[in-house]
Amino acid sequence: MRHFSVFGAAAFACALFAGSASATQEPQAADILFERPQLEKLKGGDRLDYSYSFKSADPSLFGPAFDDRIGLRVEPGDGPDKKKVEVEMFSAERRRAAGPFEDMSGNPLLSLMLEENLQRLAAIFQANPRYMKTAIRLALRNAKATPEPSEGFGDAPGWRVEVAPFKDDPHKARMHGLDTLTYRFRVSEAAPGEITEIAISARDAKGDVLFEETTRYAGKH
């Protein structure tokens, strides 16, 4: 069974943004994505559902297209502001081993989806996952959050964080188009769990999509 370890949710957030500046009024990606108590409004037994879609221009390389779902079930943690999060990562034959995550205040979905993407690309291209992780870490550390309306939540404010970690990579000529990888995150305090979208895509020299994977908030029950 495959476990999610390279981007371990709590440890990843601490290591990723240790020492990041948050004194300015303009929000940083670290504050929006990793440092907010995204689960505080949820109670024991709440379940968050997310839709997942994967598409590619070359199924023989990236794998076949598919649609699936991800479920997070929240239970009380050891502290008043902490939660235990159980994960259903895809269904049937695509099921991944993930979690449970103990004593969480942030939503582990972001780390889960970064890990899923990283492991897929590392396996396909025999890339060093730690090299890729470092590039993503640096890009997010330096990113700003852009305000935008929250789709599906009326006029509630939201934020978008978008980075292209490999666009200036010194090895991009050997990256088979992965230098165009773009990571887009949308969040809103109005959404249960706050994360509303995680979209990852890469394009070829003509601008056509090589592959894209999109995870979206699909409801709470």
- The answer to whether 203 touches 211, Cβ cutoff 8 Å, is no
Query: What mean pLDDT do residues 146-164 have?
Result: 89
Q: How far apart are the first and last CA of the chain?
A: 28
Has residue 81 got a pLDDT over 50? Answer: yes
Q: What is the pLDDT of residues 99-144, one digit of tens each?
A: 799 999 999 999 999 998 998 888 888 888 888 889 998 999 889 8
Question: Nearest-CA neighbor of 142 among 118, 164, 172?
Answer: 164
**Chain centroid offset of residue 63 CA:** 20
SS (H, E, C) 39-89: CCCCCCCCEEEEEEEEEECCHHHHCCCEEEEEEEEEEECCCCCCEEEEEEE
Instruction: Give the rounded percent of residues in the chain with a pLDDT score beyond 70.
Output: 88
Q: How confident is the model at residue 25 (pLDDT cuts 50, 70, 90)?
A: low
Has residue 157 got a pLDDT over 50? Answer: yes
Has residue 17 got a pLDDT over 60? Answer: no
Tell me which DSSP letter residue 106 carries.
Answer: S
- Crossing angle of the two packed helices 129-141 and 109-125, in degrees rounded to 10: 140
